[in-house]
Amino acid sequence: MTVFLHLLKAIIVEKVFCDLRLKKWLGYRVGCDIYNLHETKRFYFYVVSPDYKPKDLLMKIHVFIATIPDYLADVDHETFKHLRRGADLPDESCMSQELVHDNM
């Protein structure tokens, strides 16, 4: 599941930013990410906006999420290979390379 979530993020992070930030102007900070809650990986979308009520943002995010299956279906094999190479995939310890090489 961890690898799937990292691949999903790599594939849709640009679409999230382009659609929700640049096209719809929903907020000044938008994106998606993965977090661990009680040893279960979760995937979430976020939008920070002073202009919309939370309920309105949630509805717009749900509309956006409904477009993801069609978007994923249109990703061709070469694009998928390119995105997979660039993804921050976890190693055997299930930690992303970003965290494995953290010097803190």
The structural domains of the chain, with segments of one domain joined by +, span: 2-100
| 44-82 pLDDT per residue, tens | 999 999 999 999 999 999 999 999 999 999 989 998 888
- Cβ neighbourhood burial of 15 (10 Å; 0-12, 13-18, 19+): middle
Q: How far is the C-alpha of 97 from the C-alpha of 88, rounded, in Å?
A: 6
Residues in the chain, overall count: 104
Each residue of 34-46: pLDDT tens digit?
999 888 899 999 9
Q: Which two tokens stand for residue 103?
A: 């010097």
Contacts of 98 by beta carbon, 8 Å cutoff, 6+ apart? 88
Q: Greatest CA separation found in the chain?
A: 43
Q: What architecture is the 2-100 domain classified under in CATH?
A: 2-Layer Sandwich (3.30)
96: nearest Cα among 87, 21, 69? 87
